[in-house]
Structure 1
Amino acid sequence: MTDSLHIVCPHCHTTNRVRSDQLASAPTCGSCKKALFTGHPAALDEAGFERHIGRNQIPVLVDFWAPWCGPCRAMAPAYEQAAAQLEPRVRLAKVDTEAVPSLGARFNIRSIPTLALFVNGREVARQPGAMAAADIVRWVQSNLR
């Protein structure tokens, strides 16, 4: 019997059950019918964040950023590239701390960009500062061993 995982849709935030052996086969959401993995980070508000962190049974990497932040904008393309490499094993998401200041405060984000890696709803690693795509991928993989 193949294990199944709960995967939250990046579009409608519905929780889907996906067989683990089907993760790489472009699964779609049972509710909105869109792809569960797009190779792009999901932009999250507070409700979406709670859903993705609390319900996803794959690790979730969150980029805490703001639109006025030069290093955040500089890292955005690298974060996109990392999403394409890490999905479907890891969900990548972005939280705009300007639009959702409560999450920045709750997680004590002191500098941006800051990457936070969540596993089973718990933060397991944090890395402040802009990084290149290869460094993001390496950092995530080293923290998931």
Structure 2
Amino acid sequence: MQKHIIDITNITTRLRASGMKVDDFFLVQFILNLLPPECGPFQINYNTIKDKWDVSELSTMLTQEESRLKKQGGHSINLMGQRAGKGLKVTTNKFKKKKAPAKVQQDAHKELKADVCRFCRKEGHYQKDCPIRKAWFEKKGISCDPNYKSK
């Protein structure tokens, strides 16, 4: 954060050298607005106090805040109620890669098997037209005609 403040003050020094007037209050607000989200409580604290800081006071306060955040570290706790996980669907194979060549081969295999009889497993006709199936039904004394209704 210290480097960040130095960079911004260097920019304002160049602006002032070119004849542009930059107020210290504006500079402090600009630096505060560019802080990361972790410094949100720090910004709220600054906005609630009556005394306003200049850039050097802001720099020392941000140095203290930065050291506090480093001490605090990345520790976090996730709290869940008793019923918080109910209804969640757990998928275990979510990140596994699918084998594309095997699927392509499977689709090609399905296309080749599309005109195969499910009864005799021969190509060229379907189960409803299978002569072996019709002979088997006739042998059993059952009609395979779809319009036939038994009594």
> What range describes the TM-score normalised by the shorter chain of this pair?
under 0.3
Give the alignment's TM-score, normalised by structure 2: 0.21
* Higher RCO structure (Cα 8 Å, ≥6 apart): 1
Give the alignment's TM-score, normalised by structure 1: 0.22
Tell me which protein shows more strand as a share of its residues: 1
Tell me which protein shows more helix as a share of its residues: 2
